[in-house]
Structure 1
Amino acid sequence: MKAVVNGTVIAEAPKEDLISIEGNWYFPPASLNVELLAKSDTPYTCPWKGECQYFNVVEGGTTLKDRAWSYPNPYPSAFDRVGKDFTNYVAFWKEVSVVE
């Protein structure tokens, strides 16, 4: 599967390596093109997953604010709910398409 914006691949991994949480595909850290992601200062804490780290997607001179996110230190109880450790996995939103 691929996370793509304007034809640029931001992440790519086999579907079996991704984790689906609440309708979003989370890509493993090793699958990311980290040059296209910049940490954001936007704060958010999910009541059951924990503190979120947002990323801006930087592609072709355009910055898409907070279009990616991960959980660097998820609550341990979240692993039971998801069924897997999703630490530092990254999901995408809006202009970023996840395709097979």
Structure 2
Amino acid sequence: MIRVTIGGHLLAESDETKVVEGNHYFPATSVRMSLLTHSDTSSVCPWKGTAAYYDGVVDGNRIKDIAWYYPNVITERAKPIEGYVAFYKASMCAFISSDSCLTSNPEQGDHRRH
């Protein structure tokens, strides 16, 4: 099971994520969209297309560009993640059967820099 938490709040949880370039993409149905709001940020990947971003809003605090998704991918290779949501790595913890965080590496930073 992969979970994304921020400030003690669960943003996403799924055992059906898709991993692309080291990022877990969550089905939109497994994401608490009430804790996200659309950002003005976008970026372009040559094989995925244009990514749209979400800010996180938790306890009245806005966390800029915490998540992104590709609403309309441009290649068949990217089709499996179309509409799926990925999160900034520093906010993600991977859980297996226990509730202790197994992975979280803030030094990995923003995915756009990789």
TM-score w.r.t. the length of structure 1 is 0.86
1:71 matched residue in structure 2: 70
Structure 2: runs of 5 or more not aligned:
96-114
Per-residue CA deviation, residues 22-75 of structure 1 (Å, 9 max, x unaligned), is 111111010010001101111211111101010001111111101100001011
Structure 1: runs of 5 or more not aligned:
none
| 2-structure distance, mates of 1:52, 1:78 | 15
Matched, 1:21 2:16: no
TM-score w.r.t. the length of structure 2 is 0.76
| 2-structure distance, mates of 1:77, 1:33 | 27
2:56 matched residue in structure 1: 57
Higher relative contact order (CA 8 A, sep 6+): 1
How many residues align? The count is 94
CA contact (8 A) 2:23 2:89 kept: no
Runs of 4+ aligned structure 1 residues displaced above 3 Å come to none
1:7 matched residue in structure 2: 8
| 2-structure distance, mates of 1:52, 1:90 | 10
User: Given the alignment, which residue of 72, 82, 89 partners 1:87?
Assistant: 82
Secondary structure (helix, strand or coil) at the match of 1:73 reads: coil
